[in-house]
Amino acid sequence: MIIYAMISGTSVGALFMGGIVPGLILGVVMMVYVGVVSIRRNYPMGHRLPAKEFLKKALRSAPALATVVILLGAIYTGVVTPTEAGAIAATWALIISVFFYRAFGPKEFLEVMKNTVKSIGVLSFMIGAAYTFSYIVAIEKIPALVADAMLGSPRAPG
């Protein structure tokens, strides 16, 4: 959403607010689907956690869940721009992944960075190509030419 907002000039806050309801609906539908498939395929059920163990696991997940709070809190309070909030949240996620959860070491970190650079490179190329295409379409007045062709009303060039 942040990349789309950057390209289109749309408000990131408005995009996030507009995405809440569809996201919740999608989440509920996916939960129902997984439940139905699990029952039909007779998947084994997990065991219930005692309250003490649940609380322990919930507290252990708090730093990861704080990433969302950091991102949205920074955007909605106006402390930083959406792009800066994304960078802060990504940095936070990296820090807790490496130092708190010990999810990966230097070798895995290098692999993650390589994949990130590849993904951003492809995305940047696509955005550049879209901007170039949009510029050419605007300069050549292609929408007006297409409209004229469809409506059958020729215009003088220029």
pTM of the model: 0.58
* Residues making up the chain, counted from first to last: 158
SS3 at position 40:
helix
CA 87, CA 76: separation in Å to the nearest integer? 15
Q: What is the pLDDT of residue 50?
A: 93
Q: What is the pLDDT of residue 46?
A: 85
CA 95, CA 44: separation in Å to the nearest integer? 35
CA 142, CA 137: separation in Å to the nearest integer? 5
CA 140, CA 74: separation in Å to the nearest integer? 42
Q: Look at the alpha carbons of 108, 114, 118, 124 in this order and tell me if their dihedral is positive or negative.
A: positive
What is the rounded average pLDDT of the residues 146-156?
A: 75
| pLDDT tens digits along 1-34 | 777 777 777 887 788 888 889 999 999 999 999 9
Among left, alpha and beta (phi > 0; psi -120 to 50; other), residue 52 is: alpha
Name residues whose C-beta falls within 8 Å of residue 70's C-beta, 6 or more positions apart in sequence.
85, 88, 89, 92
Instruction: Give first-to-last CA distance, the chain, whole Å.
Output: 38
Is the pLDDT at 158 greater than 80? The verdict is: no
DSSP string, 62-112: HHHHHHHHHHHHHHHHTSS-HHHHHHHHHHHHHHIIIIIS----HHHHHHH
| pLDDT tens digits along 39-79 | 999 999 888 889 999 999 999 999 999 999 998 898 889 89
Q: What is the pLDDT of residue 121?
A: 93
Contact 83, 13 (CB under 8 A): no
